[in-house]
């Protein structure tokens, strides 16, 4: 059985079924995966192939039917969803610091995070005064404020327009370069996977059908270059 490298997380022989209307639907079947402690791992696959289920199992939001998930990463786990899930009655600053224990962060730390995600000047704004992209930046800052060692992102840019999505992909790379965390991002966009992923894992029929170590390709990447076009074609054939 091929064991693939992806952030201080080892997944072995993982099975997950869902029961719908009395029928068992197998979603993940005998899945093996290693996630390295540092880097951006992208899990790419068609709609319904089990990407979100895999992330939810990693986050402990679902329980596997069989198999093992070993988290070697010491520390906390943060999650970013497709929609920002901000609290509308709180300012940007308070959304980011809500739930953090006083004494675990400084004003300067939060200010730096706000600059890092590119929302400086909007600290006192409320979510309904922000664009979709800005709200997602706040959601990312909120996760970073929590100081997780691994960040799970479920289609975080899916609801954004093309240009905002491009900008957010660049921001994510920038955040990774500065924070050096393990980031696991789920997407159905092969282009997004090639633009941001250091490890790209293709999920098909509940299993890893292929994986690519792209860490030799520096950022920013030109995904119209021959190597990337070739990889994209190969992924399209196996997805």
Q: Which residues are near ligand ATP by CB under 6 A?
A: 18, 20, 25, 27, 45, 47-53, 188
Contact 81, 101 (CB under 8 A): no
Pick the closer one to ligand ATP by CB: 20 or 224.
20
Could you tell me which of 113, 84, 75 has the C-alpha nearest to residue 97? 113
Output the smallest distance, CB 201 to ligand ATP, in A. Answer: 12
Angle between helices 107-116 and 132-145 (to 10 degrees): 140
Pick the closer one to ligand ATP by CB: 39 or 50.
50
How many Å from the N-terminal Cα to the C-terminal Cα in the chain?
19
Output the smallest distance, CB 90 to ligand ATP, in A. Answer: 28
Pick the closer one to ligand ATP by CB: 48 or 121.
48
Pick the closer one to ligand ATP by CB: 52 or 198.
52
Output the smallest distance, CB 97 to ligand ATP, in A. Answer: 30
Output the smallest distance, CB 20 to ligand ATP, in A. Answer: 5
Q: 164 — phi, psi (to 5°)?
A: -65, -35
Q: Which long-range contacts (CB under 8 A, 24 or more apart) does 62-65 make?
A: 62/16, 64/14, 64/15, 64/16, 64/28, 65/15, 65/16, 65/17
């Amino acid at each position: 059985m091929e064991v693939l490298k992806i952030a201080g997380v080892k997944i072995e022989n993982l099975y997950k079924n869902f029961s719908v209307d009395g029928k068992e639907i197998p979603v993940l079947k005998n899945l093996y995966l290693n996630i390295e402690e540092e880097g951006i791992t992208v899990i790419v696959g068609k709609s319904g192939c089990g990407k979100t289920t895999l992330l939810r199992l990693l986050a402990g939001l679902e329980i596997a039917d069989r198999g093992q998930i070993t988290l070697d990463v010491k520390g906390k786990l943060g999650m970013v969803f497709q929609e920002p899930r901000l609290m509308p009655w709180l300012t940007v600053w308070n959304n980011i610091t809500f739930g953090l224990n006083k004494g675990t962060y400084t004003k300067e730390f939060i200010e730096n995070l706000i600059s890092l995600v590119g929302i400086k000047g909007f600290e006192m704004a409320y979510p309904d005064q922000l664009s979709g992209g800005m709200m997602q930046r706040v959601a990312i800052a909120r996760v970073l404020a929590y100081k997780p060692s691994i960040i799970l992102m479920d289609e975080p840019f899916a609801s954004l327009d093309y240009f905002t999505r491009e900008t957010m992909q660049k921001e994510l790379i920038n955040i990774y370069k500065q924070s050096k965390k393990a980031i696991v991002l789920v997407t159905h966009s092969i282009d997004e996977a090639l633009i941001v992923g250091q490890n790209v894992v293709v999920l098909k029929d509940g299993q890893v059908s292929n994986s690519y170590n792209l860490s030799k390709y520096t950022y920013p990447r030109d995904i119209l270059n021959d190597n990337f076009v070739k990889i994209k074609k190969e992924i399209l054939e196996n997805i």
